[in-house]
Amino acid sequence: MTTMTPRRRHPARPAWEEEPGVATRAAKGTVLTLVVLAVLVPLWVVLLTSVSSRESINDAGGLVVVPRKLDLSAYAIIFSGGQISKALLVSTLVTVAGTALSLVVTVLAAYGLSRPGSLLQRGLLFYFLLTFLIYPGLVPQYLVVTGLGLKDSLWALILPSAVSVFNLVVVRAFFQNIPGELLDSARIDGAGEFRILWQIVLPLSKAVIAVVGLFYAVGYWNTWFNALLYIDDNEKFPIQRVLQGYILAGQAPQTSGTVSVALPPALAIKMAVVVVTVLPIALVYPFIQRHFTRGVIVGAVKG
C-alpha cells in the first residue's frame, strides 16, 4: 500500500466525509480480511472435497484442503438421478408462492398492528406474540394439516409456516420508524389505509421487505421436515428432501446382497449437497442487497 502519496478519493464517498486515517484503514482491513478468510477457507474445503476422488479423500483423512485429483462424480450422481430437476421446480414454486403469500400477510398484519391505540391493537399484537412462545406439538399439527386434506399438497409446505411472528415484528418496527408526518399528510389528503400502505409505506420499506423476503424465501427453500411429514409422493419432493437422500446414500443397514458399483465417496456427496444447497442462496443475495440503498426516506420527506 502506498500510504505516503495521497489516495484517490473513492467516488462513492460523499464530499463532507473525511478520508479515514492509515490506522483506521489498517484495522478495518485486518478485521474484514480475517472474517472473510474464516469463512472462505472452509467454503473452499467444502467445494474441494465435493470434487475430490476417493483417493484424495482417503489421503486427507476426510476433508480435502489441497487440490489433488479432481472427480466430478458426486455431482454426476446427484444430477443423474433425474429427481433434481423436478425437485428444483417444486422448490421454486413453493418458494415463490410461499414468499409472496407470506410477505403479503406479514406486511398487511405488520401495518395493521403498527398504530398504537387502534382498535384491538394490543390484544391482536399479543395474539401474534404468543405464537412466538407456545408451539403446537407434532401430532396435533399433523392432524390439522391432514384433516384439511393437505397431505401430498404443496400447500402443506407453505401454510403451516406462512406467518413468522419474528419477521412480522421486525417489519412492524420498521414501519413505526417511518416519520409520522408523511402518513398524516396523506391522511389529510383523504388517502385510505390501503393506499397509504401501498403508495407511501411500501416504497419506503424496500430494505426490510427485501430482508424479510429473504428470510421467508430461505425458509421455504430449505423446507424439509414438513415435506417429511406431509409429502409421500416422490414426485412432489422439494429439493432439500431429495438432497437429504443423497447424504444418506450408503448408510443403509446391510441387508441383501447388491453388487455395488463405483459410487462416489460418501463425503464428496455430502459436500456436493452442501454446495448445491448453498449456491442458489449465494446467488440470490446480491438482488436483496440492491435494496439496501440509503436515502429513500429522505427523498420522500423532501418530495
**Binding positions for another protein, 166-205, rule CB under 8 A:** 166, 168-170, 173-174, 176-181, 184-185, 187-188, 192-194, 197
Asked whether position 219 contacts another protein by CB under 8 A, the answer is: no
- Contact status: 249 vs another protein (CB under 8 A): yes
239 Cβ neighbours under 8 A, 6+ residues apart? 84, 87, 88, 90, 91, 221, 276, 277
Cα separation of 264 and 76, whole Å? 9
Q: Which is nearer to another protein, 81 or 92 (CB)?
A: 81
Q: Is 262 in the site for another protein (CB under 8 A)?
A: yes
Indicate the helix (H) or strand (E) that contains 180. helix 180-188
Min CB(278)–another protein separation in Å? 5
SS3 18: coil
Q: Give the one residue of 67, 120, 149, 199 binding another protein; rule: CB under 8 A.
A: 120
- When binding is defined by CB under 8 A, the residue of 220, 237, 238, 239 that contacts another protein is 237
Residue 3 binds another protein (CB under 8 A) = no
Cα R_g (the chain), whole angstroms: 25
Under rule CB under 8 A, residue 40 binds another protein: yes
Q: Quick one: DSSP state of residue 291?
A: T
Round to whole Å and give the CA distance between 51 and 70: 5
Q: Sign of the C-alpha dihedral, residues 139, 142, 147, 151?
A: negative
Nearest approach, Cβ of 43 to another protein (angstroms)?
6
74 near another protein, rule: CB under 8 A: no
Question: Binders of another protein: how many residues, by CB under 8 A?
Answer: 152
Q: Does 208 bind another protein (CB under 8 A)?
A: yes
Smallest distance, Å, CB 67 to another protein?
17
Judged by CB under 8 A, does residue 123 bind another protein?
A: no
Residue 63 C-beta: closest distance to another protein, Å: 6
Q: Is 145 in the site for another protein (CB under 8 A)?
A: yes
Q: Does 160 bind another protein (CB under 8 A)?
A: yes
Report the residue number, 220 or 237, with the smaller CB distance to another protein.
237
Contact call for residue 303 and another protein (CB under 8 A): no
Distance CA 246, CA 259 (A): 19
Q: Please pick, from the candidates 4, 12, 23, 66, the single residue that binds another protein as defined by CB under 8 A.
A: 12
Label residue 182 left, alpha or beta by phi (over 0 means left) and psi (-120 to 50 means alpha): alpha
> What is residue 259's three-state secondary structure?
coil
For 144, the grid coordinates are: 390439522
**Is 95 exposed, middle or buried (CB count within 10 Å of its CB: 0-12, 13-18, 19+)?**
buried
Toward another protein, which CB reaches closer, 286 or 303? 286
If one asks whether residue 63 binds another protein (CB under 8 A), the answer comes out as yes
By CB under 8 A, the residues from 77 to 106 that bind another protein are 80-83, 104-106
Residue 6 vs 10, nearer CB to another protein: 10
Residues 174, 205: contact at Cβ < 8 Å? yes
The grid cell for 25 is 484503514
